[in-house]
Chain A
Amino acid sequence: MRLFLRQLGALVRLSFLDLYRRKDLVTVGALALALLVPLAALRPFGVAGADRYVGEVAMGLIWLFSLVIAIALGARQFPPEFESRTIYPLLARPVGRSTVLLGKYLGAFLAAVSATALFYVLFAVYRGSTGSGWFPSVLWQGFVLHVCALAVAVALSMTLSLAVTMSANLAFSAIAVFGMFIWGGRLPELAVNSPLPAKIALDVVYAIAPHFEFFDLRQRIVHSWDCVGVGVMLVVVAYAVLCSAALLSIAALLFRKRKV
């Protein structure tokens, strides 16, 4: 157990170093500031005091950047190891493939969560400074569900990284994640109005694709609605766990079969 935990810790640490030393966060932060500061400084019709639109744009950016980071982190856990041949000295260690998989997954996931937590803290500070409450419960709840989304996104891109090329993985992951995030809830409507082959395809996608829109509490956070019930939270968290586990099982199978 000690060895297992030490190995997991080493792999997690590797992902953190990868994220924070690439300075992607700095770029993302600069971009966000460049967008949000002028937006917050606006005086539409000379009127000050509206901040919900800033909150909405900020939450939109948080989701966009965090999902991009999650997909990128998941996508680059394995391919660089194979390309640079570091997979060999890694697997030559007293470590099983499933431990490597789990460690890399946890590393990518926790690194993505840390970046997202930072964004949420900054968001909370902004909202608190404008008098909308420092850390309302709905924001905490939104963060928890956001973490669930990251878990699934990392699992998806990591699984795909073991099956397709990096560029195909990034494209497909982005389409799957953002597509479901934006249109996932509307698929049944689209299916009803579509010809049969498309209807079947849409129904299948609706049934099996991960529903990232379930984790999106932006509406409640931005417009100060109440929290979601505990039962609903538990169901959504369980859904995220199941999705992630299913994807990681596929990843484990692919990794086991992968020739090194």
Chain B
Amino acid sequence: MSKIIELKDVVKSFGGTRAVDGLSLSLEEGGVLGFLGTNGAGKTTTIKMILGLLSPDEGTVSVLGGNPADPSVRAGLGYLPEAAYYYPLLDAPEVLAFYGRMSGMDESTIAERTEDLLEDVGLAHDAWNRPLKTYSKGMLQRVGIAQALVHNPKLLVLDEPFTGLDPLARRRFRQLIMRYRDAGGSVIFSSHDLSEAELICDSVAILRRGRIVFSGARNDLAGDASVNLERLFLSKLAESGDEEAKEALK
């Protein structure tokens, strides 16, 4: 299987601070990678480099076989940002149409995909033609998921995808991810919601202070798929010297 994402010895600094410090990471095609870490660990910076929004100071970033700073590489990327407030005066189909056009889709394809996607993400029909400024957080998140998928990307990059979703919506979204993966798509998502991550990811990368402290298949961690991911997360942080994680494990 080819590597959809490959980061090698990536370093990124802001001023005197190293946000990412010699990070190496990869994701196989068809995989779902949970990208975990405490606040300020460097997850967002890493995601931005995967999206081509930032360039590394050192090391290489390869996404879909190319440099993500190249717009043509990003044609296969779908991104769901954390807590985005999409264009308030547009309705859901218009938002999807906009992003579809920005991805080079033609109008007929956009029209087909829009209805299916809005159904898949569970957005109520009566909300479709209302402006987004009337939407709740959960409804906006559903639109966000839909815009990330509208152009059939090969790689999904999700930042806190479960925010604002009720349990039923979370279940629907998990099923959507699974179907997407089963159809050949790859996913990298960053989340603080370890219980959700536990249910869908098949590999995990744990980040602390810009460095990977664990990376591998979740099953490899303890040899047992039923081990709680939260405990695994805390134990790996504790092993790397995080005092708070050590306290939490007591």
Residues of A within 8 A of B (CB): 2-3, 6-7, 9-11, 13-14, 17-18, 21-22, 84-86, 88-96, 260
Contacts and interface: CB of A to CB of B under 8 A. Distances in A.
Given A2-B104, A13-B98, A90-B102, 12 more contacts: A6-B104, A9-B101, A10-B101, A14-B98, A21-B131, A85-B81, A89-B99, A89-B144, A92-B52, A92-B78, A94-B72, A94-B104
A10 B106 CA distance: 12
A88 B75 contact: no
A14 to B, nearest CB: 6
A164 to B, nearest CB: 22
A3 B151 CA distance: 14
A104 to B, nearest CB: 12
Interface string B70-112: 0111110111111111110110001001110111100000000
Given A86-B85, A92-B79, A94-B72, A260 B53 contact: yes
Interface of B: 48, 51-54, 71-75, 77-87, 89-90, 94, 97-99, 101-104, 131, 144, 147-148, 157
Given A17-B89, A94-B104, A95-B71, A88 B84 contact: yes
Contacts of B99: 89, 93
Contacts, number: 84
A220 B79 CA distance: 54
A87 to B, nearest CB: 9
A78 to B, nearest CB: 13
B170 to A, nearest CB: 21
Q: Which 8 A-B pairs have the closest CB atoms?
A: A10-B101, A84-B85, A92-B79, A94-B75, A85-B84, A88-B81, A93-B102, A21-B89
A14 B52 CA distance: 24
Contacts of B86: 84, 86
A7 B79 CA distance: 18
A91 B73 CA distance: 12
B74 A94 contact: yes
A13 to B, nearest CB: 7
A96 B81 CA distance: 19
A11 B72 CA distance: 18
B102 A10 contact: yes
A89 B147 contact: yes
A89 B48 CA distance: 11
Contacts of B104: 2-3, 6-7, 94
A92 B49 CA distance: 11
Candidate in A10, A14, A92, A94 with the most chain B CB atoms within 10 angstroms: A92
Contacts of A96: 71
